[in-house]
Structure 1
Amino acid sequence: MSATSDNPNLLDVDDARALLREHTISPTEQRVEIARVMFARHQHLSAEQILGRLVQHSSHVSKATVYNTLKLFAEKGLVREVVIDPTKLFYDSNLNPHHHLFHTDTGELEDVDPARVDISHLPPLPEGKELLGVDVIIRVSDRKA
């Protein structure tokens, strides 16, 4: 996958269509536009941020379509939902195992290499359950003087 040479913030249209088809998603015009923004590079974006970028690029995709498409992308394994709190949901295009550092002052979310986080003692799992993963969100803010 590659961003377009004229705009590094957008994935190439043909690459976006191919990515959607590869994940058995019908490449409608709106889904392709959303994919072009979401998959230009590894990034964490909220639905509102994606909508804002679409507007900047003169795209006419509704808010409901953005939310529904992101939900579909998550169901198909194209993005990972990162829930910061009940009011903050980001979509992460980096599917490699990693944790997150959330800057509460700016709302920025960044990746943390899992090798940099030591998780040594997990509670026993309930009978019949298996561990699917551990997601760590480290919240930080500027120090108050």
Structure 2
Amino acid sequence: MKAPLNREQTADLLRAHDINLTQPRVEIACVLFSRMEHLSADQILAMVNETSPSASKATVYNTLKVLREAGLVREVIVDPTRVFFDPNTEPHHHLYDVVSGCLTDIPDHALRIEGMPALPPGMVAEGVDVIVRVRSGV
């Protein structure tokens, strides 16, 4: 997993990917890259607005789209109502606690997948994402 970034490193990362630096974008990216956690858009909005209430929900979603398209975050859809944004873009999978809502990483080497279905003509596999959903068995 990547190390957390400070504000200057985060701004440098955005510049390196030709992302226009605006205060809300930098604030949103700082929340993600300083914590290196799986966060929902609502969590990001709340954290950004704790220090400078200037970001709207639309700004957060638009910025997350820019970061996703630049390959800086992954969108992890754990169910139709729960979407997380993951600043760890290295190959890995996820463990999702359906009760607590906690999403954690599973290292890529800890899970082995054998075989691949035949893909439609002209298609290539971009990746495989596995989410293991768990709950307490007690």
TM-score normalised according to structure 2 size: 0.91
Q: Of Structure 1 and Structure 2, which has the larger fraction of its residues in helix?
A: 2
Q: 2:56 matched to 1:62? A: yes
Query: CA RMSD, aligned part only?
Result: 1.7
In the other structure, the counterpart of 2:85 is 91
2:37 paired with 1:14:
no
Q: Please give the alpha-carbon distance, in whole angstroms, between the structure 1 residues aligned to 2:70 and 2:84.
A: 16
Q: Which amino acid aligns with 1:116?
A: A
> Which of 33, 57, 69 is residue 75 of structure 1 equivalent to?
69
Cα shift at 1:2: 7.2
Counterpart AA for 1:33: E
- Deviation digits for residues 44-102 of structure 1 (CA, Å, limit 9, x no counterpart): 11100101111222342111100110011001111011111222111100011000000
For 2:129 and 2:3, how far apart are their aligned partners in 1? 28
Ranges in structure 2 where 5+ consecutive residues have no aligned partner: none
- Letter of the aligned partner of 1:69 in structure 2? T
Contact 2:3–2:36 under 8 Å retained in 1 = no
Name the count of aligned residue pairs: 137
Maintained 8 Å contact 1:38/1:45: yes
Deviation for aligned residue 1:112: 0.2
TM-score by length of 1: 0.87
Residue type matched to 2:69 in 1? Answer: E
Q: Which structure 1 segments of 5+ residues have no match?
A: 4-10
SS at match of 2:34: coil
Deviations 1:23-64 (A, max 9, x none): 100110000100110101422111001011112223421111
Once residues 92 and 132 of structure 2 are traced to their aligned partners in structure 1, the CA distance between those partners, rounded to angstroms, is 12
Percent pairwise identity: 48
Checking the alignment, whether the CA contact within 8 Å between 1:2 and 1:12 is kept in structure 2 is no
Report the counterpart of residue 38 of structure 1 in structure 2: 32
Counting only pairs closer than 5 Å after superposition, residues 88-127 of structure 1 correspond to structure 2 as: 88-127=82-121
Measure the CA separation in 2 of the matches of 1:116 and 1:12: 30
Deviation at 1:13, TM superposition (A): 2.6
**Partner amino acid, structure 2, of 1:70:** L
Cα distance in 2 between the residues matched to 1:19 and 1:79: 12
